[in-house]
């Protein structure tokens, strides 16, 4: 049983339940099914973007049936709790991606700047293929030309927390996703 309040408060801001854990799991399974179909007889290197994508990645990987390995990378573009600064910091990647089928696992595709910077870096390493799997996509917030092949849910610009997503590093632990109250 997951802790599932209707409302939560983080740093003085109130959030209401938006997506339940069970609903998120159904979306994660659909993404995994698509990946399994696309990579039926291939091996995948999943690169998980820390910290937000961890919960999504763990649940997604439980449903992956093809050969795979997992690596982690740090990336951040937030200066303030709810606003991106536009500059992206990427941590070191300790694996070789040359000639590998790479799927980046990200929690949310918003401005696209972070994923664009990660893709630029990875493309310099010559992967066989490079795709993005994201649980959430905010098309209205996209500022750069980047596309995710595997998208769970398209959502409006509302600020959300939970299931790995944070507000000033808090709120990641919730199994559900909560939306900032208006």
Asked whether the beta carbons of 84 and 77 are under 8 A apart, the reply is yes
Q: Of these residues, 16, 37, 67, 110, which one is catalytic?
A: 110
Distance CA 4, CA 18 (A): 11
Residue linked to tokens 């994201």: 134
154 in catalytic set: no
Catalytic residues: 110
């Amino acid at each position: 049983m997951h802790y599932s309040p209707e409302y939560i408060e983080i740093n003085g801001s109130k959030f209401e339940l938006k997506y339940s854990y069970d609903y998120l799991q159904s979306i994660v399974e659909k993404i995994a099914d698509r990946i399994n179909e696309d990579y039926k007889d291939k091996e995948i290197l999943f690169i998980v973007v820390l910290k937000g994508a961890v919960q999504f990645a763990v649940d997604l990987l439980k449903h992956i049936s093809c050969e795979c390995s997992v690596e982690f990378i740090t990336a951040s573009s937030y200066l303030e709790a709810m606003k991106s600064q536009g500059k992206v910091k990427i941590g070191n990647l300790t694996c070789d991606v040359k000639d590998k089928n790479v799927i980046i696992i990200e929690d949310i595709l918003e401005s696209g700047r972070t994923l664009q910077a990660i893709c630029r870096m990875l493309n310099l390493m010559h992967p066989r293929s490079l795709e993005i799997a994201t649980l959430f996509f905010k098309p209205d917030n996209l500022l750069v030309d980047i596309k995710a092949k595997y998208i769970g849910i398209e959502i409006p610009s509302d600020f959300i927390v939970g299931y790995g997503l944070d507000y000033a590093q808090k709120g990641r632990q919730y199994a559900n996703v909560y939306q900032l109250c208006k």
